[in-house]
Amino acid sequence: MSNVLLDKTPLTKGSFNIVPDDKHSQLDINISVCYQQFDLEIKLPIPLNGIAGIFGHSASGKSTLLRAIAGLEKKLVGEITLTDTNIADKVLVNTTKGIYLKPEERQIGLVFQNSRLFGHLSVLGNLEYAVKRCKNRRLDLNEVIELTELTALLEHQISELSGGQQQRVALARAILAEPKLLLLDEPLSALDQHSKTQLLKMILNIQKKLNLPMLYVSHSLDELQQVCDTLLVLAQGKVVNFGNIHQVIHQLNNFGESTLIHQQTSLSLAIKQFNNGHGLTVLALNAQQEIYLISDKSFENQTQLRCFILASDISIALTEPNNSSIVNHLFGTIKQISNKQNKVLLTISCGSQEFFVTISAFSQQKLSLASRQQVYLQFKASAVRTFIH
């Protein structure tokens, strides 16, 4: 990585568990934007590999960050550089050198929350708008139309489309401009649950098929947990954490006084059996232990499943609860106990996987739980959640 442009101060590398590699292109960001409510200050390299999530509450600066990368934020100070091992570094912004690439010169796509389609053009017209302006065309229009399931809608006017259909057109249009990086700004937030699931799957599929790196901004952790490989957490304009999605979520469980998220265990497990004959899907936790959850048609033909279990949905028993309707019992060792007023957060290792459990201080005292103690975790199959539920 050539850091000539980033003057004397090197980018933060060691503080987060993501180490940039030489295989993928990367976005070096070192910017600040002053606002009345908060100052956005971001300094880190984001490897452009798969889907990176950007999570934060409203006014955390996540949309501003996307706008800065896209070239729509004019008030920023600092630099953003797109580095690629195959081609020369592309400086998007460098305010000290007076460089500011216009959005149309950046080859970065953006899918907005409100699709922003051109009402005077048909669906096909909107797609062709992007195709006509794309240099070095490689993608086939029909392939993208199929990927986004728009074949039946091509002649429709934009006003005739539902919210979900509009977002699909916006997604297809953004892809057809053939960007080097696709930004997604809360693309699902205006949709119903069914359309959300459909679009999310489409985004995943497109990412894999086209190998297009994406930055996905959302205030919904469930959404991000489902699709992202890495997660960047912002709070009040500052980077709180950045790294592997599961690790970051687990670190957020212990995030100080104000919890940013519902404490949970985030998992990505292999599907062992799609349906065990009773409508339950079996996931392999490790060689000995399994997790059951309620089957959904969408799990079929998948080998891996992303799911999460809220810490408040798991309970602790000292002996194996064999006479219980609760299907999931896991055996583990208490690794850490942290008290917060009358609530206790337990970190329990089951093999190499950590689970997070919240119980009352009352229960902890009753069971006299201590570090390194061996316990049983129990949770219902319905407590294992995926984005689809």
Partner 1 sequence: MINSDLQALITTLEMAALTTIILLMIGTPLAWYLAKMTSRFKVIIEAVVALPLVLPPTVLGFYLLIAFSPEHLPGQLWQQATGQQLAFSFSAIVIGSVLYSLPFVVQPLQKAFEQLGDSLLEAGSLLGAGPIDRFFSIVLPLTKASFITAASLGFAHTVGEFGIILMIGGNIPGETRVLSIALFDHVEAFDYARAHLLSISLLIGSMILLAAIYWLNLPKKKRRQRLSVNTKQKQTNSYE
**Contacts to partner 1 by CB under 8 A:** 70-72, 102-104, 107-110, 112, 114, 116-120, 129-130, 133-135, 173-174, 177
Give the torsion sign (CA, 153, 117, 72, 53): negative
100 or 129: whose CB is closer to partner 1? Answer: 129
Q: Which of 242, 200, 241 is nearest to 220 (CA)?
A: 200
- What is the smallest separation between the CB atom of 115 and partner 1, expressed in angstroms? 9
Q: Which of 21, 19, 20, 41 is nearest to 32 (CA)?
A: 41
Measured CA to CA, the distance from residue 230 to residue 247 in angstroms comes to 9
- What is the smallest separation between the CB atom of 239 and partner 1, expressed in angstroms? 25
Measured CA to CA, the distance from residue 209 to residue 194 in angstroms comes to 23
116 or 335: whose CB is closer to partner 1? Answer: 116
- What is the smallest separation between the CB atom of 130 and partner 1, expressed in angstroms? 5
Q: How many CA atoms lie within 13 A of 317 on its CB side?
A: 15
- What is the smallest separation between the CB atom of 182 and partner 1, expressed in angstroms? 10
217 or 235: whose CB is closer to partner 1? Answer: 217
- What is the smallest separation between the CB atom of 127 and partner 1, expressed in angstroms? 10
35 or 362: whose CB is closer to partner 1? Answer: 35
Measured CA to CA, the distance from residue 250 to residue 206 in angstroms comes to 28
235-264 CB burial, b ≥16 within 10 A, e <16: bebbbbbbbbbbbbbbbbbeeeeeebbbbb
1 or 134: whose CB is closer to partner 1? Answer: 134
273 token code pair: 């059996």
